[in-house]
């Protein structure tokens, strides 16, 4: 048998590496799929390697957050100034921030309230976890800043959860202060159904169905969890194109340098 051609070695190397890598990754996937509940897979504008956020949907999502979620859920990692990234101007952000108040010290060292500024972080609805639990029958409404990244398949999960309130099967006992949600692990959730048709009135005239609101608020929260996503993907495409050219050139250089050795 003769020495196998060079391209064959490359092909085999790639196949072997891919096999090894995919074996590693498949264990990850299996473990991510530990939950038995499956939820609908939606076609998000921000999925895929070129996906971007839908500004209109994000802005509607902010409205849903403000009018529905913010009563119980904070977003402490977001600053009001960050809203510039979803298409608001300075005045709008200033006005939005000033609806909230934060504690500060005055010149005499006393704690006083002042209007929130764009540089402030989103003001949480409760001063601390204990207060939040007391106000919600013992359940703690989690902060939503990272919720899409903090759940497996976060965007689909969130949309499913928000639209997953159905009538409980007869054999299911619902304790006081709990609600039945077919997508929540364990099915019993402390959060009452938050989204009802026309629960908000969209400024842009979009029909506010529960499903639409769930999609919009998810789009907003997906951005909140990964505000760098659009920059990241854009930069990624340039970097990978650069690397492909570099790799190709180094491959050709390698072929040339090795040619006398291989063909001697």
Partner 1 sequence: MSKAKFKNPVVKWIDHRLPIFSFMDHELNHYPTPKNLNYFWNFGSLAGIALVTMIITGIVLSMNYTAHVDYAFDSVERIMRDVNHGWLIRYIHMNGASFFFIVVYIHIFRGLYYGSYKAPRELLWILGVLILLLMMATAFMGYVLPWGQMSFWGATVITNLFSAIPLVGESIVTWLWGGFSVDNSTLNRFFSLHFVLPFVIVGVVILHLVALHRFGSNNPIGIDVKGTQDTLPFNPYYTIKDLFGLGVFLTIFAAAVFFFPNFMGHPDNYIEANPMVTPAHIVPEWYFLPFYAILRAIPDKLGGVLFMFGSIAVLFVIPWLDRSSVRSSQFRPIFKIFFWILLADCVLLGYLGAMPAEGIYVILSRIATAYYFFHFLILFPLLPYIEKTKPLPISISEPVLSGSSPASAFAFREKK
Residues that bind partner 1 (CB under 8 A): 1-4, 9-10, 13, 17, 20-21, 23-28, 30-31, 34, 49, 77, 82, 142, 145-146, 149-152, 154, 185, 225, 227-228, 232-233, 235-237, 239-240, 243-244, 246-247, 250-251, 253-254, 257-258, 261-264
Cα dihedral sign, 18-20-22-25: negative
Q: For partner 1, give the closer residue by CB, 106 or 264.
A: 264
User: Cβ closer to partner 1: 166 or 240?
Assistant: 240
Give the pair of three-digit tokens for residue 69: 């979620």
If the CB atoms of residues 149 and 207 are measured against partner 1, the closer one turns out to be 149
Q: Report, in Å, the least distance between residue 31 CB and partner 1.
A: 3
Least distance CB 202 / partner 1 (angstroms):
28
**Is residue 123 within 8 Å of 116, Cβ to Cβ?**
yes
Residues 6 or more apart in contact with residue 188 via CB below 8 angstroms? 174, 175, 178, 179, 180, 181
Closest approach of partner 1 to the CB of residue 193, in Å: 24
Q: Which is nearer to partner 1, 94 or 151 (CB)?
A: 151
User: Which helix (H) or strand (E) element contains residue 43?
Assistant: none
Distance of alpha carbon 130 from alpha carbon 157, whole angstroms: 27
CB of 30 to partner 1, least distance (A): 6
Report the distance separating Cα 235 and Cα 218, nearest Å: 24
For partner 1, give the closer residue by CB, 137 or 207: 137
Provide the minimum distance between the beta carbon of 153 and partner 1 in the complex, in angstroms, as a whole number: 9
Q: Residue 32 half-sphere exposure, CB side, CA atoms within 13 Å? A: 10
Distance CA 24, CA 4 (A): 29
């Amino acid at each position: 048998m003769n020495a196998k051609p060079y391209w064959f070695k490359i092909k085999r190397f790639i196949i072997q590496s891919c096999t090894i890598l995919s074996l590693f990754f498949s264990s990850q996937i299996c473990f991510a799929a530990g939950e038995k509940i499956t939820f609908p897979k939606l076609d998000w504008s921000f999925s895929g390697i070129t996906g971007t956020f839908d500004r209109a949907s994000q802005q509607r999502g902010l409205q849903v957050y403000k009018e529905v979620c913010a009563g119980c859920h904070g977003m402490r990692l977001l600053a009001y100034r960050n809203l510039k990234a979803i298409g608001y101007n300075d005045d709008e952000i200033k006005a939005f921030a000033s609806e909230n108040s934060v504690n500060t010290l005055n010149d005499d060292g006393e704690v006083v309230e002042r209007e929130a500024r764009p540089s402030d972080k989103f003001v949480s609805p409760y001063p601390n976890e204990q207060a939040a639990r007391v106000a919600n029958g013992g359940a703690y409404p989690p902060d939503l800043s990272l919720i899409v990244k903090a759940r497996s398949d976060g965007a689909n999960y969130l949309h499913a959860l928000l639209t997953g309130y159905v009538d409980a099967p007869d054999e299911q006992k619902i304790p006081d202060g709990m609600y039945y949600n077919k997508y929540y692990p364990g099915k019993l959730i402390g959060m009452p159904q938050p989204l009802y048709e026309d629960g908000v009135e969209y400024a842009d005239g979009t029909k506010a169905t529960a499903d639409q609101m769930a999609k919009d608020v998810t789009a907003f929260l997906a951005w909140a969890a990964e505000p760098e996503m659009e920059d990241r993907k854009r930069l990624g495409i340039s970097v990978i194109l650069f690397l492909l050219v570099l790799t190709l050139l180094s491959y050709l250089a390698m072929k040339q340098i090795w040619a006398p050795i291989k063909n001697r």
